Every structure is written in structure tokens, then in C-alpha cells.
């Protein structure tokens, strides 16, 4: 009897309920990601949502986003169109932290996890201009910041010799920039000085593209740098001039992972020195492991490290393509009280004594602070020189003495000096020169110089005493 009561209206041709029992959102496509640029109203327009349902015109649905146990309502009581079609727009700023699953459900229903409600995964990339940094004294900057809503991971290219497993929670921020030793302004600080900017200085040029199938977002910004003439504070800056460098930042977002790449390019085809102070308001997700050239593992970093600031210097010579440094590493500085003393050796290849070897030694502590030392190794040997006579410790009464010896070098000995006097060098490498003696000890040094400028030395000490009579220079130790 109850079944008949329920089915009677249906069998009599009564209208179906207006609210749907099944829905499917078809746009945006599955996995799509969209850009939310709050600094540019045109770019921050709402996201269009389209879909289908088994309801009919007059019914209503709520557009919600499901993030785990939480359900956020993005748009309430959206009326269904003819044929149960769904068409509305949502504000990207209402998307929950970390992204969510977009669903359309009957109005008032909060259980949206059933298979009858289908929709794409939605992750929003938000563009947030940072507050300008005053250009006074040693400071200067302002920056543009990209972040994935919520717990997205920003993965940066690993530095050489470092295997970074995991990434960073949040996004790096450029705190200050110096070009050729002078503070420079990123366009985030320029709007206050728009009237003093160079002609044609337009600030940040941003462009975003979304791949329809994969939902991958690529955001490209070009930011020319300016500098304030003089060292006055921002409010008293006389005028702005172009710094000759621009920042090209590319952010590629796939799902909840954003890859940030920075490239500094010279705009005037001249070499520039760019110093970038990077602040990372984040914590490390997974500890990296470090590579040491001589073996030995200093151990992994702690699982979570506090955010720190650091400065990286990017130096390059410009050519047809200008100055290009990509990416800017996020160098974290920290305190490391431990000291490791170690020795290692390297094999220097035979080069015939004509080449120099430059060795770079890098020390890295557990908090990612690195220090480097460069050493120049000369594989060529110095000239060999020996004094045959007089013997060290000889005592003489003469006023002068003849110094004899020999010198040799694979590259050839260019000159021998004994006590400052140039000695005549024979083909066999032997030399002889007479040098004066003074009362007391007489240190006599012989220095050989080869054709590459390397030197070798030998030294003896000769004492002179005077005991009555007239010293005979031809009879050492005697008198006339």
C-alpha cells in the first residue's frame, strides 16, 4: 500500500522533483588550475563553472568544494537552467586552503562525497604583490610573490652537489636587490614614484597560460629594475633611472606543485653584478642529503628547519644574450658550532709544467650554510739551486769571496743572483761570482729564476774577522 502511494504520482505523470539527484561539473576540466591575481582586477575575475544534472529548471544547487572532512560553500542556491544545465561563477578567493574537489549538490545538502556528484580537483595559484621595501641606505627592493593556495610545495632546482628530496612549504621572496653595488628597486616599489619613473617604465608585465588538458599553469613576469638617483629615502627620491637589469620569473604550477625559476637579464648588453637577498618564509618539508667530494656523509639535515634569510651573488658577463643567471638559489644561513678538520689529496695530471689547476673547496654545515675557498695549484716545480763553495759556516779574513754553485730547471734557468749580484751561468748550469764580505756574519743567498717566473733559493753564512796586517784578498784566511 505504501509503495502504491509513492508510485501513484509518478504513474499519473506528475512532474519530477526540481532538485537533481546526480550532477557533473564539466568546466573547469579535471585537474585544472586557475590564476587569482588580486592586484589586477581583470585577471581576478570569477571562475566560470558549467555542468549537467538530472534536475530541471526551477531547481537549485549549491556549488561546494570538498577538502577532506571540510566542505566549503562557494555559491549558494544557483538555479538550474533548462535541461538541468548548471552555469554560474565562483570567486577564486573562496577556494579552501590547499585546494579542493569541486562539486554541485542539491541546495542545503552538505554531504557531497557521493559518487553521484562529480567534479574536478581545483587548486588555485594566487598572485600577491609584496609590500614595497623603502629604498634607503643599503636597502632596496619590493617583490612579486607567487604561492599555491595552502600547503602547495614550491620546488626549486637543486644546487650543484646537493640532492634535494622534497621541497619547501610556501614561496621564496626577494627582500632586496643591488645592481653593481647600488640598491635597486623592483617594480613593487615603483608605483609610489610613478611620476619620477623613466619614460616607458611600465612596471611588472605578467602573462598567464593554462593548459586545457593537464591544467598546468605557466605564469611569466618581466620586471625591469630601477634605481633611485642619490641615497635619499624613498619619499625624497629625485628621479628614477633604469638599472640595466630585469627579472624574468617563470612559475609553472602542476596540481599542487609550483616550480619557480628566476633569471636576471641585462637590458643594456653590459656586464652587471646582481646581489639578491632572498627570504624564505617557510619550513623545509623533507631533509636533503649532502654530497662531499672526498666521501664521508655529514648526515642528513633535521626534518624541519626554521626559515632564514640569506644573500646570493649572481655574477655573469653579458654577450648577445645578456646576463643570465637561473635560478636564484634559496641559500639558508645558520649557526653551526661544530668544526670538522679533514685532509684529502687529489691527483694533478701531468701538463709539462705549463698549466695551473684551480681547486674549489666547499664546506656545508647542517643548516645549509656554505663557505668556499679557492686554491691555485701550480704543478710545475721551482728551479733547483745549490751553493758548492764556500761551505756554510766558513770564516775568512778576506774582504771578498768567490761563490760557486749550480742551478737547473726543466723550463730552463733564466737568471741567477748571488747576494744581489747577477752571476754568469754556464751551459752546464754552473755559476761563479765574487761578493764582498763585511766584518761579522755575512748571509749569502743565491736565487735562481726560471722562464715561468718561479724561483728557487739556497743560502750559506760566511764570517769575516780581521787580525792585524793588511788583508790579502787573494789569500782567504791570510795576510800580507
* Domain boundary assignment for the chain: 16-123, 130-316, 384-464
Integer Cα distance of 66 and 53 in angstroms: 19
Q: Is the pTM of this model over 0.75?
A: no
pLDDT per residue of the chain (480 residues) written in tens, 0 to 9: 434 444 444 444 444 457 788 999 988 875 555 555 555 555 556 788 999 999 888 899 999 988 777 888 999 999 999 999 999 998 877 776 556 788 999 988 877 777 889 888 776 655 544 333 332 222 223 333 333 332 222 333 222 222 222 233 333 456 667 777 787 776 544 444 444 444 545 555 666 666 655 556 676 777 778 776 654 444 445 566 778 887 777 766 665 455 556 677 777 777 777 776 654 433 333 333 333 333 333 333 333 333 333 333 333 322 223 333 323 333 322 232 333 334 444 444 444 444 555 555 555 554 455 555 555 555 556 788 999 999 888 888 888 899 999 998 877 788 898 988 888 888 888 999 999 988 888 889 899 888 777 788 888 988 887 655 554 544 444 444
Integer Cα distance of 281 and 173 in angstroms: 8
Q: Just give the CATH number of 384-464.
A: 2.60.40.10
CB 442 within 8 A of CB 462: yes
C-alpha distances in Å from residue 226, one per residue of 13, 255, 318, 397, 464: 74, 35, 19, 78, 74
- Domain 16-123 matching CATH 1.10.3210: the answer reads no
Query: Which residue, among 146, 144, 125, has the nearest Cα to 217 in the 3D structure?
Result: 125
Same topology between domain 16-123 and domain 384-464: yes
Query: Which residue, among 14, 32, 80, 89, has the nearest Cα to 52 in the 3D structure?
Result: 80
User: Phi/psi of residue 192, each to 5°?
Assistant: -65, -25
Amino acid at each position: 500500500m505504501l509503495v502504491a502511494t509513492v508510485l501513484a504520482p509518478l504513474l499519473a505523470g506528475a512532474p519530477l522533483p526540481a532538485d537533481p539527484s546526480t550532477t557533473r561539473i564539466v568546466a573547469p576540466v579535471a585537474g585544472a588550475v586557475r590564476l587569482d591575481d588580486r592586484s589586477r582586477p581583470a585577471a581576478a575575475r570569477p571562475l566560470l563553472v558549467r555542468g549537467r544534472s538530472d534536475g530541471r529548471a526551477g531547481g537549485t544547487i549549491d556549488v561546494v568544494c570538498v577538502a577532506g572532512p571540510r566542505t566549503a560553500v562557494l555559491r549558494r542556491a544557483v538555479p538550474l537552467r533548462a535541461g538541468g544545465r548548471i552555469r554560474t561563477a565562483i570567486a577564486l578567493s573562496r577556494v579552501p586552503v590547499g585546494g579542493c574537489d569541486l562539486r554541485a549538490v542539491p541546495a542545503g545538502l552538505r554531504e557531497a562525497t557521493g559518487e553521484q556528484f562529480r567534479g574536478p580537483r581545483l587548486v588555485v595559484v594566487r598572485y600577491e604583490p609584496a609590500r614595497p621595501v623603502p629604498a634607503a641606505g643599503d636597502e632596496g627592493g619590493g617583490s612579486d610573490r607567487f604561492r599555491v593556495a595552502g600547503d602547495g610545495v614550491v620546488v626549486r632546482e637543486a644546487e650543484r652537489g646537493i640532492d634535494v628530496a622534497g621541497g619547501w612549504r610556501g614561496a621564496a621572496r626577494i627582500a632586496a636587490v643591488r645592481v653593481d653595488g647600488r640598491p635597486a628597486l623592483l617594480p613593487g616599489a615603483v608605483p609610489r614614484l610613478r611620476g619620477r619613473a623613466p619614460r616607458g617604465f611600465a612596471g611588472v608585465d605578467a602573462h598567464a597560460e593554462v593548459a586545457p588538458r593537464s591544467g598546468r599553469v605557466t605564469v611569466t613576469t618581466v620586471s625591469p629594475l630601477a634605481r633611485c638617483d642619490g641615497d635619499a629615502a624613498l619619499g625624497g627620491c629625485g628621479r628614477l633611472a633604469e638599472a640595466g637589469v630585469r627579472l624574468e620569473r617563470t612559475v609553472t604550477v602542476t596540481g599542487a606543485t609550483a616550480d619557480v625559476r628566476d633569471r636576471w637579464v641585462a637590458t643594456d648588453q653590459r656586464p652587471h653584478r646582481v646581489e639578491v637577498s632572498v627570504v624564505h618564509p617557510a619550513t623545509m618539508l623533507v631533509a636533503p642529503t649532502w654530497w662531499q667530494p672526498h666521501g664521508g656523509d655529514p648526515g642528513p639535515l633535521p626534518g624541519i628547519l626554521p626559515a632564514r634569510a640569506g644573500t646570493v651573488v649572481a655574477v655573469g658577463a653579458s654577450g648577445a644574450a645578456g646576463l643570465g643567471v637561473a635560478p636564484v638559489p634559496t641559500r639558508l644561513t645558520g649557526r653551526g658550532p661544530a668544526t670538522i678538520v679533514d685532509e684529502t689529496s687529489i691527483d694533478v695530471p701531468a701538463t709539462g709544467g705549463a698549466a695551473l689547476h684551480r681547486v674549489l673547496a666547499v664546506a656545508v654545515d647542517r643548516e645549509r650554510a656554505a663557505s668556499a675557498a679557492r686554491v691555485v695549484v701550480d704543478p710545475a716545480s721551482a728551479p733547483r739551486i745549490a751553493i758548492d763553495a764556500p761551505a756554510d759556516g766558513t770564516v775568512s779574513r778576506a774582504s771578498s769571496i768567490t761563490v760557486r754553485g749550480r742551478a737547473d730547471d726543466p723550463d730552463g734557468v733564466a737568471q741567477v743572483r748571488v747576494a744581489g749580484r747577477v752571476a754568469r751561468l754556464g751551459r752546464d748550469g754552473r755559476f761563479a761570482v765574487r761578493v764582498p764580505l763585511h766584518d761579522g756574519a755575512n748571509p749569502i743567498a743565491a736565487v735562481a729564476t726560471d722562464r715561468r717566473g718561479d724561483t728557487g733559493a739556497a743560502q750559506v753564512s760566511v764570517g769575516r774577522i780581521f787580525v792585524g796586517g793588511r788583508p790579502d784578498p787573494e789569500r782567504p784566511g791570510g795576510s800580507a
